[in-house]
Structure 1
Amino acid sequence: MKSIVLLVVIFTARLDCALSEPTQKYDTIVVGLGSSGVTAATTLAKAGRRVLGLEADDRIGGRVKTVPFGDGVVEVGAEWIHGIVNSRVYDAAVQNNVTTLEQKMESQVFRSDGSFVDRDLFIELFEYGTEVAENATGAPKPVGQHTQEKLMEYLEKNHPDVLKDQDYVNGVLEALNLALSALEATSDWNEVSTQSSYEDLGGSLHYSWNKHGYKTFFEILLNKYNNGPGLPSLDIKLNKEVTQIKWPKDSTGDVEVVCKDGEIFTADNVIVTVSLGVLKERYSELFKPALPQKKIESIKVMSMGLLDKIIFQFDEPWWKSMTYDSIFLLWRGEDKRKVSIEDNWTTKIYGATTPMGSDNTLTLWISGENAKLMETLPEEVVRSKAFGVIKQFMGANFTIPRPTGMIRSTWYSNPYTRGSYTFDDVGFPQHPNARNILGEPLLDSAGKPKVLFAGEATNPKHYGTVHGASETGFREAQRLLDSKM
């Protein structure tokens, strides 16, 4: 009897130990499996490192999310490959013989009474406004203030008669505001600074994975494209939310990564790739010991933006007679004044595009605080109100059936993203090195990197893009590989 009791005690003690002690040790743990995390994890795994990837969500991809919809696939997150010269994303497609297609983004313009405007004039003004917004010189200003000043000067010089129609001018300015705000994922173009560190890649900014879907990029990275075997030295665990990262600031010990379910993993180091939105919300509890003050300051002063989509599915592409793949919506003042306060968010839908991965779907775009509000509304309200906008602007020229399905993105509501991507706000000139500081690793007592940071927010030149995020994942993986040479 005593021996049986002893065995039970030993077994129970071992079980308790197994539940509370870390599991097997890895070379590196990667927290977050979006573009930066998967790039980092696969780069290290291909170099022979034993890597664990932890993802809080139930899927890989982060702010890239390809879903079946309509007669193909749609992108709930990142839509295009933004540039093709020295792009890790575009190069991955080419090297694996995946056909990508350029979306021309040629636009038609509708007004809120269903009429057309002079398309050539609008495109001329829009392109001029976009150019001066992106190529501002001189002392930093809010983008909206600078662009409006330059556009009014341009109109006075080149189209003085247009200034007589103030309602049209207001509509153009608001359309520009909404379009540039969507590009930056802000509520208003005056939140953005004319001084920025961003650089475009060469080539078209609108290449699409079309029917393949952006998910193909991750399949390629993970060596699973075309039924590839994967990477044997990479373990991936989904639904694993990380609640604390313990790092040995004053020693050369292991990093411990604690998950919400109580499981603990150890490694020589960890690469943290969560979004700036998540860092803003959790940095004080996530790291032990606490982050250096300068890194905390960078997290606080940087801005996380929000860009959402409302994607409709129809039985047939009723717009197929239209030779354009992008639509601008210009509100007339009298029509806008008729919109109720609770529905005002619908006037901030800047336009629509036709996804290249699905022929019978249409994507509406909305950003900033209005997108946050949209995320909180009941599904049927969003469907009804957003469809009402389409009918109001285009119903006089098309027979528009009711949609048969709808998907909306909720990047701010998602606790694992808390936004879409970062932008350089009007405070950027006072904190030009914030992104570099955020990307600096935390070192142990021997000067070895223990906690490393990747993600689009840490890329000073290519933030807000999938290729920019991937660059940072490769950067941090290479930092670890170089540190062991």
Structure 2
Amino acid sequence: MDIIVIGCGASGIAALRRLHDAGLKVLGLEAADRIGGRICTVEYGDCYLDLGAAWCHGEKDNVVFEMANPLNLLARTKPDHKYYLLSNGDSISTETGEKLLQTLDEEVGKADKNNSKSISDYVRNAAKTNPTFQKDPKLKQSFIEWYEKNNHLGGQSDPKMGKSLKGLEEWWVCEGDFFLNWKGKGYTTFLDLLLNKYPDASKELPIPIHLNKEVENIKWCTSKPDLQRGNPLVQIKCKDGSLYAAKSVIITVSIGVLKERYSQLFSPELPVEKINSINNLDCCILDKIYIEFTKPWWPKFPSKFNILWRDEDKAKFTRQERWITEIFGFNTVEYHPNLLLAWTSGEGAIEMEKVDEEQVKAGVKKLMQVLFRKEFQLNPVKSILRTQWASNPLVRGCYSYRSVKTEENGASAIILSEPLCHGNGFPVVCFAGEATSHHRHNAVHGAIEAGFREADRLIEKFKQTK
């Protein structure tokens, strides 16, 4: 075997496809019983829902868009009708909400990106002197809290875990429509495209992928390689006892999994600078709760409901229900007229995952009675479907980000992405996945780019050994 790819999410599949097309002998090992990783499209009644990645974010310099758009796989999402609701059910005007949002975005836009502060710290300080926020101090507090949650800024319990201003400079946004959807068929459509199975998803996989293969140990050789004689440089042991060997390996698991397992996963242990980046790059927790109603009750489609929490309303929920007060918004779902999607992040998401599904359903119903009973005629909740990305041992989070701690400790995606090589420069252990993307982490297109990057690195090196 030439190369084994560990983790068959978007990045792993991209690497496998590129390597396979170059004529190398490859194998994918996936710990789950499905491919896709944080791309997870599921059947729900007579429709498909994305539990993980859902939209193609942007067009220019976006590899997902460049591959999918010529095949007419993407559709543009219509602008949302936005509502801003206080947590007692009262509303503020859309005009006011949009003006406050624009003010905070402008403040962040003009911030010094070399500043060591978190985005949250900067926003809170800027709002103290911004005249737009002086009229209503209570609304200011509620709106800033919503802004932090809506942008998953983190750092509420530990300021050093908040997203850094410097990270904004490192992260590059793809221009164009930021919410291109998959016409109700889900992001798995793109996986079929990567695997050369589109438009016939029933086609046999052209690339060997072994499912339910949770890797326990990666033993990589430090001695001088003899590639021409076919000596394996990497030996991989799975939890089920199966063994694999190859000349190189590409690791594509999430930063959350690396944090939890790197000390047991690699023999010999990783270099100090690699460990430092694993420990100090952070992973955002973002969960979804899909809510199905007997029929829609919202007057306009599409709609987005932004929740502005007040302290006195939070106090009305018990300690066990505190996760409910971390839900920061709802939006309608394209192609699924009876669904609303609720969002929660950070500690609130972690606590929601610990509650059983019936309690989540009861909590959502209780929140909706408070939020919507004044202005809307609610219809009954039929069912819910929630995600549990933090508690999933094969994921442990949703996407990587740069925190204040990341900057202070000199961690970076660049360091994480550097391969482990022999003295002659041959890459034995390579690292892909969205967390290794230098400028497009936290998105599928960043994961794809990283998979292609490591595949191209190995293709070039293998050519040199022939």
What is the match of residue 255 of structure 2? 276
What is the match of residue 9 of structure 1? none
1:289 Cα deviation (Å)?
Answer: 1.4
Distance across 2 between alignment mates of 1:185 and 1:69: 31
Matched residue type, 1:419: G
Q: Does 2:447 match 1:476?
A: no
Distance across 2 between alignment mates of 1:95 and 1:43: 20
What is the match of residue 228 of structure 2? none
Please tell me whether the aligned partners of residues 76 and 177 of structure 2 are also in contact (alpha carbons under 8 angstroms): no
Distance across 2 between alignment mates of 1:338 and 1:390: 14
CA deviation map 1:321-347 (0-9, x unaligned): 124421101223432222222222211
1:100 Cα deviation (Å)?
Answer: 2.4
Distance across 2 between alignment mates of 1:345 and 1:425: 23
Q: Does 2:13 match 1:34?
A: no
Please tell me whether the aligned partners of residues 278 and 415 of structure 1 are also in contact (alpha carbons under 8 angstroms): yes
TM-score, normalised by the number of residues in structure 1: 0.88
Q: Does 2:244 match 1:265?
A: yes
Please tell me whether the aligned partners of residues 81 and 300 of structure 2 are also in contact (alpha carbons under 8 angstroms): no
What is the match of residue 285 of structure 1? 264
What is the match of residue 36 of structure 2? 61
1:222 Cα deviation (Å)?
Answer: 0.3
Q: Does 2:122 match 1:149?
A: no
Q: Does 2:144 match 1:173?
A: yes
Please tell me whether the aligned partners of residues 143 and 193 of structure 1 are also in contact (alpha carbons under 8 angstroms): yes
Matched residue type, 1:170: Q
SS at match of 2:235: strand
What is the match of residue 196 of structure 2? 223
Mapping for residues 31-430 of structure 1, pairs under 5 Å? 31-137=6-112, 139-154=115-130, 156=131, 159=132, 163-181=134-152, 184=153, 190=159, 191-196=162-167, 197-227=170-200, 229=203, 232=206, 234-252=207-225, 253-254=231-232, 255-319=234-298, 321-430=299-408
Distance across 1 between alignment mates of 2:135 and 2:107: 23
SS at match of 1:359: strand
Distance across 2 between alignment mates of 1:200 and 1:250: 42
SS at match of 2:2: strand
Please tell me whether the aligned partners of residues 74 and 180 of structure 2 are also in contact (alpha carbons under 8 angstroms): no
What is the match of residue 12 of structure 1? none
Structure with higher Rg: it is: 1
Q: Which runs of 5+ in 1 are unaligned?
A: 1-25
1:82 Cα deviation (Å)?
Answer: 1.2
CA deviation map 1:225-279 (0-9, x unaligned): 11164564x2011111111111111131411111111111111111000011111
Please tell me whether the aligned partners of residues 302 and 422 of structure 1 are also in contact (alpha carbons under 8 angstroms): yes
Moved more, 95-104 or 61-70: 95-104
Cα distance change, pair 340–274 in 1 and its aligned pair in 2 (3 A): same
Please tell me whether the aligned partners of residues 10 and 444 of structure 2 are also in contact (alpha carbons under 8 angstroms): yes
Distance across 1 between alignment mates of 2:155 and 2:115: 22
Distance across 2 between alignment mates of 1:449 and 1:165: 58
SS at match of 1:354: strand
Aligned residues: 451
Matched residue type, 1:153: T
Please tell me whether the aligned partners of residues 310 and 365 of structure 1 are also in contact (alpha carbons under 8 angstroms): yes
TM-score, normalised by the number of residues in structure 2: 0.92
Matched residue type, 2:79: K
1:70 Cα deviation (Å)?
Answer: 5.0
Please tell me whether the aligned partners of residues 83 and 306 of structure 2 are also in contact (alpha carbons under 8 angstroms): yes
What is the alpha-carbon root mean square deviation over aligned residues? 1.9
What is the match of residue 444 of structure 1? 422
Matched residue type, 2:418: E
CA deviation map 1:114-152 (0-9, x unaligned): 222121011111122134335521522121121122233
Cα distance change, pair 135–435 in 1 and its aligned pair in 2 (3 A): farther
1:59 Cα deviation (Å)?
Answer: 0.9
SS at match of 1:120: helix
SS at match of 2:216: strand
Cα distance change, pair 421–364 in 1 and its aligned pair in 2 (3 A): same
Moved more, 63-72 or 302-311: 63-72
SS at match of 2:223: coil
Distance across 2 between alignment mates of 1:42 and 1:388: 47
Distance across 2 between alignment mates of 1:135 and 1:250: 51
